[in-house]
Structure 1
Amino acid sequence: MGDTDTMHAVQSKPLVDIVAATRPNFVKIARLYPQLVASGECRVRLVHTGQHYDANLSQAFFDEFGLPVPDVRLGIGSGSHAEQTGHTMMAYEQICQAERPAWTIVVGDVNATVGCALAATKLGVRVAHLEAGLRSFDRSMPEEINRVVTDAISDLLWTPSEDADAHLAEEGIPASRIERVGNIMIDTFEHRRTAIEQDTTVDRLGLTRRGYVMATFHRPANVEDYAWCLALVAALETMTRERDVVWPLHPRTRAQLARFELLETLSVMPRLQVIEPLAYTPFMALIRHAHAVVTDSGGLQEETSHLGIACFTVRANTERPITVTLGTNRLVRIDEVADAIRLAAPPDARRGAIPLWDGRTAERVVHSLLKRLDAV
């Protein structure tokens, strides 16, 4: 076969877009992208919307996971929810019109997820949603709106757990559109497990394994409220009386603490280490060797449950209730954190055993998509 014939054969393969926007998205596509490419059954176009544009939150993750330079960068950046969603829709619509994909894969619950799903659906492009069916039942959370809308318009819904299937069924979504594949986040952890176990960040920070608490906070509803930030600082001060605490500080959170003039208060806590955001491997090494984790994150609820590490989620609800029923997660108020950590069971005392959280979700996703790739 000549070069021209080879090129024509490649171009004739269906085009599949994988959309990523934020750090959790990059973690979720880290194993999916190479396995879909390796299938040889389609062309894969990697679309980076640019919602996380800071190098520590974006390019470092691409480099670490060996992902290629994105085929498309939309450059959306920051803005209000309406601005990010609207700009994403307009930019992605142009990409689809220039070369129409057979499928668009969106992940998670960020503004880019619903923006690209809406743009694709309106053009008649089939949409698959990875991490479908999660529900907090709190419509005050922008992420909940994104989840509900994306699931309603997607053609194929890949769910991580049985409760997600039930949520979709209750919303009237046909079973033919729902396929449980497991938790894609666990694939990335298992793929990087050896590197995580060998990482020396814990030693570099002078920490004792199982002797410290890992903290992460970034949700706008929390960190943009002065009273909440004041309560957080008080909780950290109480925690550091008994244990070291490590806090990789999200840019949004740092800006808010500076605005509220609370950064100096943190700087005088001798057992609190406020550090810059980390790449995936050192970050997960700190999680892996912690006594407990306190967070307002979504993904960490899953990863700690997989590892059997106590997680205290400072929120009134969670879209991942299975991490509470089968995992090691517990919802707490900010003023309950210090006491909860004091009573936390040692890590590995309850190892998560959530079905299909086994490191093979990407394989199941690829198999599921390939079955439908040529379907009309």
Structure 2
Amino acid sequence: MGNRILTIVGARPQFIKASVVNLAIKKDGKVEEILLHTGQHYDANMSDIFFKDLGVPEPDINLEIHGGSHGQMTGRMLEKIEGVLITEKPDRVLIYGDTNSTLAGALAAVKLHIPVAHVEAGLRSFDRRMPEEINRILSDQISNVLFSPTLKAVKNLESEGIRHGKDKQVYNVGDVMQDAARVYSAQAHPPDVSGTLPADFILATFHRAENTDDIDRLNSIVSALNRIHGEIKVILPLHPRTRAAIAKAGLEIRAHVIEPTGYLEMLWLLQHCSLVATDSGGLQKESYFHGKPCVTLRQSTEWSELLDVNANVLVGADENRIVDVIRSRLGQEISNDQKLYGDGHAAGRIAEILGSRRND
């Protein structure tokens, strides 16, 4: 039997995760990897720059599928991925996270009886209004090898009847994003912007549909960031969806707006900021890796262990609460000595497990 894996990525965080696993797979030398990019993130700053910055080979296949509703995007991806699987005949499909690309890859594979391995298995926000939550749950049910980043994620799977055994193999490998922070931090560099970046600043990002597509939430978050910017500068790498929503609503944003950054630039911003305010899942953890307090612009989080150790606070989209919590958390010291996400060598464990397997 061969050990040929088709890796499916489509969104910024997945490029970063796949980069460290790709390095580990090459080092292990027991797996042939084919990289498929669905095209879900198609802006050059959201996609191409990550392959260039991280030294990941250009995707072997790019489906260039983006835009449309969740159903439209997932359906188009499912159709195209199925065709690729029939042509390439991989022994396994490797998926990451919780995007439409993740679910489409898992569905296409299982319908062709191709085993699926899922990196970041078992994460739960327990908010099924989030499309990402549905993607996670379904992908875990479909997968037969599940790589969990935390013990809590393993327990989430157990509560849903997914346990390590003959039909499902569950491994608590740690978080590959901690690998990325370890591997790439020394290469971090400031973003290429006109003018001088402030010495003391808050790093803010928001892009989730729940915040950009709801005018009240959008207005509240923008107003809160404007108020904070009057006290300590706010640097805001502006996601294309957020930029369009702000323009459509006719809102004024007074933060220091910059273009979306590459991963190495984002690492620099994380290293030098005083606090992170975000609705991103990944940045909640990356804040912790870099010892920075995080304020999350959501009602729920899949990284609940950060709430348990007081490294993160959920503030939703309430303007006054956002402002008050940011003020109270500035200067807070965060210690990344809890080993919540492993030791920064998750990718090596994943590569070793994949390299030891054949068709299930």
TM-score, length of structure 2 as denominator length: 0.94
Matched, 1:66 2:66: no
State the secondary structure of the residue aligned to 1:133: coil
1:349–1:96: structure 2 CA closer, same or farther, 3 Å change rule? closer
Pick from 180, 196, 203 the counterpart of residue 206 of structure 1. Answer: 196
Residue 125 of structure 1 is matched in structure 2 by 114
Residue 21 of structure 1 is matched in structure 2 by 10
Structure 1 position 208, deviation (Å) = 4.6
Residue 154 of structure 2 is matched in structure 1 by 165
Residue 218 of structure 2 is matched in structure 1 by 229
CA distance in structure 2 between the partners assigned to 1:205 and 1:27 by the alignment:
28
Is contact 2:3–2:355 with CA below 8 Å preserved after alignment? no
2:259 maps to amino acid: E
1:356–1:287: structure 2 CA closer, same or farther, 3 Å change rule? closer
CA distance in structure 2 between the partners assigned to 1:31 and 1:155 by the alignment:
22
Is contact 2:38–2:62 with CA below 8 Å preserved after alignment? yes
Deviations 1:77-119 (A, max 9, x none): 1111111111111111111111211110000000010111011
Identity %: 37
State the secondary structure of the residue aligned to 1:179: strand
Is contact 2:164–2:170 with CA below 8 Å preserved after alignment? yes
Structure 1 position 375, deviation (Å) = 4.7
Structure 1 position 354, deviation (Å) = 2.7
Residue 306 of structure 2 is matched in structure 1 by 323
Matched, 1:287 2:277: no
1:354–1:325: structure 2 CA closer, same or farther, 3 Å change rule? farther
CA distance in structure 2 between the partners assigned to 1:192 and 1:278 by the alignment:
15
Residue 366 of structure 1 is matched in structure 2 by 351
Matched, 1:179 2:171: yes
Is contact 2:191–2:261 with CA below 8 Å preserved after alignment? no
State the secondary structure of the residue aligned to 1:55: coil
Matched, 1:80 2:63: no
Q: Which has the greater radius of gyration?
A: 1
Q: Which moved more, 1:152-161 or 1:357-366?
A: 357-366
Residue 187 of structure 2 is matched in structure 1 by 195
Task: Write the mapping of 1:105-144 to structure 2, written as runs, cut at 5 A.
Answer: 105-144=94-133
Show structure 1 runs of 5+ residues with no match.
1-11
Deviations 1:233-269 (A, max 9, x none): 210121022100100000000001111011xx22xx3
Matched, 1:32 2:21: yes
Structure 1 position 135, deviation (Å) = 0.4
Is contact 1:184–1:359 with CA below 8 Å preserved after alignment? yes
Q: Which moved more, 1:330-339 or 1:340-349?
A: 340-349
CA distance in structure 2 between the partners assigned to 1:115 and 1:201 by the alignment:
33
Is contact 1:306–1:357 with CA below 8 Å preserved after alignment? no
State the secondary structure of the residue aligned to 1:343: helix
2:105 maps to amino acid: C
State the secondary structure of the residue aligned to 1:87: helix
Residue 134 of structure 2 is matched in structure 1 by 145
1:35–1:231: structure 2 CA closer, same or farther, 3 Å change rule? same
State the secondary structure of the residue aligned to 1:232: helix
CA distance in structure 1 between the partners assigned to 2:198 and 2:214 by the alignment:
33
Deviations 1:177-230 (A, max 9, x none): 21011111111111111112xx24499753454x21111000011111111111
Is contact 2:204–2:235 with CA below 8 Å preserved after alignment? yes
- The structure with higher relative contact order (CA 8 Å, sep 6+) is 2
The total of aligned residue pairs comes to: 355
2:32 maps to amino acid: R
Is contact 1:326–1:354 with CA below 8 Å preserved after alignment? no
Structure 1 position 329, deviation (Å) = 1.1
State the secondary structure of the residue aligned to 1:305: helix
Is contact 2:2–2:91 with CA below 8 Å preserved after alignment? no
1:275 maps to amino acid: I
Q: Which moved more, 1:220-229 or 1:319-328?
A: 319-328
1:206 maps to amino acid: T
Pick from 331, 336, 343 the counterpart of residue 351 of structure 1. Answer: 336
Residue 95 of structure 1 is matched in structure 2 by 84
1:208–1:154: structure 2 CA closer, same or farther, 3 Å change rule? same
TM-score, length of structure 1 as denominator length: 0.90
The two structures, once aligned, show a CA RMSD in angstroms of: 1.7
Structure 1 position 367, deviation (Å) = 1.2
Is contact 1:16–1:44 with CA below 8 Å preserved after alignment? yes
